[in-house]
Amino acid sequence: MSGSPSSHFGGFKRASNLPSLFVRASTEPLKTRLKNGEKLKGMLLFSASPTLAEIASLAGYDFVVVDLEHGPADFSAALACIGATEVCGGKTVIRLPEISAACAKKALDLGPDGIMFPKVETGKAAAEAVSFCSYPPHGVRGCAYTLVRDSKFGFNKRYLEDYRDNRLIMCQIESEEGVKNVNKIVAVDEMDCVMIGPRDLSASLGLLHDPGNKKVKSAMRTEEMAVLDSDLVNVGAYLAGMATDYDKAVNLKACGYHLVLGSADVSLFKKVVVDDIKTFKLL
């Protein structure tokens, strides 16, 4: 209402004196927003904290990635993070611990907006990952759709018609072998997005302690161009990346990335507490 001292935000009231960047998150699926040409920024949720997931969404991040590959989270923790994020209109992507039908099934049944498969190295692996995300005849996903959260426990009567259109499928290329096969990976039908993993890529090139090395940057550029050029031949994979000391989030956005992961939650917290204690000690 015009002139009202507060407005509703995901069920909560927002005071009128909050920063202008504090806006209602889009209710559109990530996949739809990408199709509309939006550039999206996310946060890697390493801690599996529902509180931090909610804060990130309220702050304006377009999505959070719940990390089941490296972080302490299990599927129950991921569910709590999804619920906390959805309360304020946010979106979640689950990064799986491995490429497997069992992991994909359990993650998808929770109802995230997207799913990320780590260390995809071949077109065959990408095709298998995609098949894990759809029910027969389109894929091999196990069928419990009347019982799981993804279908609102069966209350969503259009679920089987809509679920493939609303789910973002991401494949992470983070090895020398993956870069060699990037064109085959990008060509896989329904593989929506390629996420570049710069640190694992540097390790696979024998440069673990030198992720800014020219050889690493060259491999990343090969991957970037393959994904961005896919738009020109109507394959249309989206390019995603992680901000590092060598590639800031704003630089990735300027280079054409469609999704950018900023710092992880623990990295952000670490920086704040270190700065806080330094300020105190110097007084």
Alpha-carbon torsion 28, 34, 37, 39, what sign? positive
Query: Whole-angstrom Cα distance, residue 145 to residue 143?
Result: 6
What pLDDT digit, counting tens, does each position of 62-90 carry? 999 999 999 899 999 999 999 999 998 99
In this prediction, residue 6 carries a pLDDT of 36
- Give yes or no for residue 232 having a pLDDT over 70: no
Q: How confident is the model at residue 25 (pLDDT cuts 50, 70, 90)?
A: low
Other C-beta atoms lying within 10 Å of the C-beta of residue 164 = 15
The torsion region of residue 48 among left (phi > 0), alpha (psi -120 to 50) and beta comes to left
Indicate if 8 belongs to the active site: no
* pTM across the whole model: 0.89
Residue ranges and CATH numbers for the domains of the chain are 25-277 (3.20.20.60)
Query: Whole-angstrom Cα distance, residue 279 to residue 62?
Result: 32
Helix (H, G, I), strand (E, B) or coil at 140: coil
Burial class of residue 75 in the structure, from the number of CB atoms within 10 Å of its CB (0-12 exposed, 13-18 middle, 19+ buried): middle
What pLDDT digit, counting tens, does each position of 244-268 carry? 988 999 999 999 999 999 989 999 9
| The token pair that represents 105 in the structure block | 């099934």
- Give yes or no for residue 2 having a pLDDT over 60: no
Closest by Cα among 259, 252, 266 to 93: 259
- Give yes or no for residue 13 having a pLDDT over 50: no
User: How many alpha carbons lie under 13 Å from residue 18 in its C-beta half-sphere?
Assistant: 16
Tell me if 154 sits within 8 A of 147, measured CB to CB.
Answer: yes
Radius of gyration, CA atoms only, the chain: 19
Active-site residue among 70, 138, 209, 258? 70
Question: What mean pLDDT do residues 20-47 have?
Answer: 85
Return the minimum-mean-pLDDT range out of 20-24, 138-142, 192-196: 20-24
